[in-house]
Amino acid sequence: MAYKRQIDRLPIVPADAKEHNVVCHYCIVGCGYKAYSWDIDKQGTTAPTGNKFNLDLSKQQGPDTDAWYAPSMYNIVKQDGRDVHLVIKPDKNCVVNSGLGSVRGARMAEMTYSSVRNTEQQRLTDPMVWRYGQMQPTSWDDALDLVARVTAAILANKGEDALFVSAYDHGGAGGGYENTWATGKLYFESLKIKNIRIHNRPAYNSEVHATRDMGVGELNNCYEDAELADTIVVVGANPLETQTNYFLNHWIPNLRGTSLDKKKAEFPNEAVEPGRIVIIDPRRTVTVNACEVEAGADRVMHLQINSGTDLVLFNAWLTYIADKGWTDKAFIGASTKDFDKAVAGNRTSLEEAARITGLTVDQIRQSAEWIAQPKGGGARRRAMFAYEKGLIWGNDNYRTNGALVNVALATGNVGRPGGGCVRLGGHQEGYSRPSDAHVGRPAPYIDQLLINGQGAVHHIWGCDHYKTTLNALQFKNAYKRRTDLVKDAMATVPWGDRQAMVNAILAAIDKGGLFSVDVDIIPTQIGQGSHVWLPAATSGEMNLTSMNGERRMRLTERYMDPPGRSMPDCLIVARLANHMERVLREMGKADLADKFKGYDWKTEEDAFMDGYHRHEKGGEFVTYARLRAMGTNGFQEPAVGLDTTGPVTAGTTTGQTPGMVVQGPTIEARGKEPAQKSEPSAAASTVPVASEGGKIIGTKRLYADGKFNTKDGKAIFMETKWRGLQASGKEEESKKFPFLINNGRANHVWQSAYLDQQNDFVMDRYPWPTIEMNPQDVTRLGLKQGDLVEVYNDNGSTQAIVYPTDRVKERQTFMLFAFPRGVQGNVVSAGVNEFIIPNYKQTWGNIRKLADAPEAVRGLSFKPQDYVAS
Ligand SMILES: Nc1nc2c(c(=O)[nH]1)N[C@H]1C(S)=C(S)[C@@H](COP(=O)(O)OP(=O)(O)OC[C@H]3O[C@@H](n4cnc5c(=O)[nH]c(N)nc54)[C@H](O)[C@@H]3O)O[C@H]1N2
Ligand SMILES: Nc1nc2c(c(=O)[nH]1)N[C@H]1C(S)=C(S)[C@@H](COP(=O)(O)OP(=O)(O)OC[C@H]3O[C@@H](n4cnc5c(=O)[nH]c(N)nc54)[C@H](O)[C@@H]3O)O[C@H]1N2
Ligand code: SF4
Ligand SMILES: [Mo]
């Protein structure tokens, strides 16, 4: 594909190139990168003094050289209005990735907006409004005036509950502490919006209520624990493809045995051996295959479980481990409660579990041994439990999550080296918001309310429900109908007559219409329904902070200009609030207008200081200057103090360092997500910001002191009885339709392909979403590889191309989720759990042929994408 990148040769990075800290803005892992930029008319030389790497580049470099970059890591972008060369390459000194890139992150540079090299020309450059029957550019003031007038009228006439909001709550691109604080302040402080949902689920709730209710925050260990564990237990996740460099840089060394020295040093009195891994997934993922290659098949157990039955397996583990006496009694006694109750309530025999999960009694017993049987010499086995969307979007989210945490607690594996019971994570995290207590629990099911005609105005921040929600086809149909009513009304009045325009919109809303505002970086699919698009700047075009899956917080520095007039989301919030205040004052609503004071931010740093710095635990220690000095390694949240003894260098310190200033935030789980966040403490800055010195001291592991997030500090075991397919309608669907339509991600594609859809590297490989099908099923349906098929059930229909593979069992399929040319969510039912958590993964449907492989598919390879020994 390199020929398509129009690269013949690449310039050498000159010695005086500017250097910026970058954290990959895609997945949770948050790999460290460096951005280098320099004037367009210059380049470095091969002499050591002439290049950034200080090496003689006229000589052949070794295979592991750092003095190298790929065509995908290069672009020409604008910086302060001038064209510059840009190279974004992995940082060897970042402890997260040690110089590794991934097929996503290593393409960051070619995914930037460049009018010189024609990349990402889809980016929005101006505010756009529905005018004369199509979207047309306008000024910020014009667009925001309309949004403010319609929103203000609705607030005044119908009240806050008529304003619906969809907003991301994560870190990385389309997120970060600056932006979640801004949207949070607008909707939870200035207003008390309760009809609000998050980017990936149809309500404002936690993905992992259960673990939090038990007192165990979900990001409680550190990446090093994967190198130290005796056994890694991974549930419903495919980390080679979805948490790539965490897997490659921290799991593989353990499986290969190359972290043995680390283990010996950490546990001098214990028998240590290379790590083992238990993988629970109905599908034989490439992760399973990679683990077998690296560890040898005898150290890998793949439990190819019946979809949705994980809870039964965990209850059986708990029962067996308790009966064998392999629990950590001292820990259970000192740090937990309700153990006996949970063991009694959850009692499940190996035989019963085998019957429901489709596993054998031996598999269940053996995996329990790998988790908890004491090691030679009697030491407790160190097991790390990691889970992601196969559990979170799986059957009976709340109880299944609780059942896994039960096993981790019972075996003493939380807060200890080589342990942890953690989400692997999706995006980076960047949650910082005022209290959401007014939303309530269960929170309103926003999608259903919108489908049923509620809501008058909808503000959308960086999410595309047309591609990513459940029951997506019904949602889209209803949304289109309601927003079309407003569009048609807008077409009857001239744009220049603002009052007539507002009146026409309000009248259409009264007839069931919905006024939609989409804040995004590109034209989205849900944006096809919107009346206003507000163009956002993203990571690298603004300064942005977030944390990764081990709570490692860094600052990504702005290395290029945003396209056109686009602005950071936090500043869009601020300007919208300014307009709201003005318009409400004009309307004579002084009380309402006063709520929109406090948005005089000029920069994203202002938003950071107003939010994270003032409101988050340990935030008083955290400033841009200190983060900048700590580079791509940053520190692990929460911050607990400052080390002022020496020069500031990158890295996290966790021990007691002489000369450190420790202010007392108690250690608490932090992460993505609302819920259970107490009112912000009035934590005024106790360390003067003016003195920017000092290295931030972080926290390597949570709960190392055995104290959990409950009133008495004791973690709570949970009763988690099996209740079959829990979400309404799922049991019937599973009986009615022949194929499981399992779904999720692939290595090359980032999310809904919002940037990838303009990138040949991805679109040549995935012109349509793939559906993995067992070769027996392909034959039985008379299909061939590459055929375009329809996937359908009572919820809706969608399309995909057939990818035959024995990675999936017969009668089971796996479809790429959220893809622009075939939305898997169209066939996902509206069924949710008691806290409105969707159940995307348990979907059943039928499959029929639409057409032979389209032209773009005919040249594709359908070889197995296996991991091979290197
Ligand atoms: N069937 C099925 N459905 C699923 C899932 C599944 O497994 N199966 N998984 C769910 C999960 S875990 C997730 S995370 C969701 C994802 O659902 P979404 O969050 O809706 O999907 P993304 O593609 O991540 O969309 C992000 C949008 O943000 C925009 N964006 C990017 N950067 C910025 C920025 O800086 N500012 C602004 N304002 N916008 C920006 C992008 O252009 C894009 O339109 O899908 C969920 N839906
Ligand atoms: N390449 C790439 N990486 C990404 C993303 C991306 O879009 N592309 N998105 C990021 C985001 S936002 C997220 S949330 C994460 C998601 O990361 P993951 O959770 O690892 O990804 P998924 O593919 O959604 O689902 C993981 C696995 O769950 C399995 N599964 C399905 N049903 C069940 C079940 O009943 N039980 C069990 N045990 N397993 C089941 C599926 O077979 C699948 O292999 O990935 C992040 N990383
Ligand atoms: S593993 Fe994740 S964070 Fe690291 S480079 Fe890849 S997408 Fe980016
Ligand atoms: Mo996600």
Q: pLDDT tier at 668 (50, 70, 90 boundaries)? A: very low
Closest residue by Cα to residue 825 from 803, 800, 804:
800
687 lies in a domain? Answer: no
Q: Are residues 555 and 515 in the same domain?
A: yes
Helix axes 350-357, 310-324, angle to 10 degrees: 160
Q: Give the pLDDT confidence of 343-383 residue by residue, as tens digits.
A: 999 999 999 999 999 999 999 999 999 999 999 899 999 99
Overall average pLDDT of the 554-577 stretch: 98
Query: Which pLDDT tens digit goes with each residue over 78-103?
Result: 999 999 999 999 999 999 999 999 99
**Closest residue (by CA) to atom 23 of ligand 2?**
744
Together in a domain, 191 and 242: no
Closest-CA residue, ligand 3 atom 5, reads 105
Domain that holds residue 45: 18-111
Our answer on whether the CB atom of 743 is closer than 6 Å to any ligand 1 atom is yes
Which pLDDT band, with edges at 50, 70 and 90, does 690 fall under? very low
> Does residue 691 lie in a domain region?
no
Q: Rounded mean pLDDT of 556-574? A: 98
Residue 841 has pLDDT above 80, yes or no: yes
The pLDDT of residue 3: 62
Q: What is the pLDDT of residue 658?
A: 39
Question: 247 and 372 share a domain?
Answer: yes
Q: Are residues 378 and 440 in the same domain?
A: no
pLDDT of 221: 98
Q: What is the mean pLDDT of the chain?
A: 94
- 278 and 394 housed in the same domain: yes
Domain-embedded: residue 668: no
Residue 664 has pLDDT above 50, yes or no: no
What's 75's domain CATH number?
A: 2.60.40.4210
Site to probe by mutation for ligand 1, drawn from 123, 520, 572, 741 as the one with most ligand atoms within 8 Å of Cβ, is 520
Q: Are residues 437 and 573 in the same domain?
A: yes
Per the model's pLDDT, the better-predicted residue between 691 and 289 turns out to be 289
Same domain, 182 and 254: no
Lowest mean pLDDT among 107-111, 688-692, 790-794: 688-692
Residue pair 518/534 in contact by the 8 Å Cβ criterion: yes
Relative to beta strand 134-137, strand 128-131 is antiparallel
Residue 8's pLDDT band (cuts 50, 70, 90): confident
The tens digit of pLDDT for each residue in 223-238 reads 999 999 999 999 999 9
- Region 157-175: what's the mean pLDDT? 97
396/440 same-domain check: no
CATH code, domain carrying 766: 2.40.40.20
Using CA atoms, how far apart are residues 238 and 490, in angstroms rounded to an integer?
47
709 occurs within a structural domain: no
- Residue 197's domain is classified under what CATH number? 3.40.50.740
Ligand 2 cavity residues, CB under 6 Å: 27, 104, 235-238, 241-242, 280-283, 285, 305, 307-308, 310, 388-390, 394, 426-427, 742, 744-745, 747, 749-751, 814, 841
Give the pLDDT band (50/70/90) at residue 674.
low
Point out the domain boundary residue: 643, 667, 688.
643
CB-CB contact of 67 with 46 (8 Å): no
Q: What is the mean pLDDT of residues 497-506?
A: 98
pLDDT band at 682 (very low <50, low <70, confident <90, very high): very low
824 ligand 1 Cβ < 6 A: yes
> Has residue 93 been placed in a domain?
yes
What is the average per-residue pLDDT within 403-414? 98
Q: State the CB neighbour count (10 A cutoff) for residue 545.
A: 26
User: Over pLDDT 90: what percentage of the chain?
Assistant: 92
Q: What is the pLDDT of residue 645?
A: 84
Over residues 181-187, mean pLDDT:
98
Half-sphere CA count of 557, side-chain side, radius 13 A: 23
Taking CB atoms and a 6 Å cutoff, what residues make up the pocket around ligand 3? Answer: 24, 26-27, 29-31, 97, 101-102, 104-105, 244-245
Least confident of 45-59, 385-399, 575-589, 654-668: 654-668
Give pLDDT tens digits for 194-226: 999 999 999 999 999 999 999 999 999 999 999
H or E stretch including 779?
helix 775-780
Q: What's the gap between Cα 474 and its chain centre?
A: 25
Q: Is 684 part of any domain?
A: no
Q: Does residue 133 share a domain with residue 233?
A: no
For residues 127-144, average pLDDT: 98
Residue from 22, 97, 429 to probe ligand 3 pocket by mutation (most atoms less than 8 Å from CB): 97
Domain boundary (111, 140, 162) is at 111
Distance CA 28, CA 91 (A): 17
Same domain, 396 and 458: no
Residue 736 in this model has a pLDDT that exceeds 90 = yes
The whole-number pLDDT of residue 7 equals: 72
Question: Does 666 map to a domain?
Answer: no
Interval 813-818 mean pLDDT: 98
Position 6 in a domain: no
Q: What is the mean pLDDT of residues 487-499?
A: 97
Of the pLDDT bands very low, low, confident and very high (cuts 50, 70, 90), residue 496 is: very high
Q: Averaged over 770-796, what is the pLDDT?
A: 98
pLDDT at residue 689 tops 60:
no
Dihedral sign (CA 31, 37, 43, 47) = negative
- Number of neighbours of residue 666 by Cβ within 10 angstroms: 11
Reply yes or no on whether the pLDDT at 688 is more than 90. no
> Residue 691: which pLDDT band, with cuts at 50, 70 and 90?
low
Same domain, yes or no, for 167 and 255? no
Which ligand has its closest atom nearest to the C-alpha of 241? 2
Q: How many domains does the chain have?
A: 4
Residues 308 and 395 in one domain: yes
The domain boundary, picked from 58, 82, 111, lies at 111
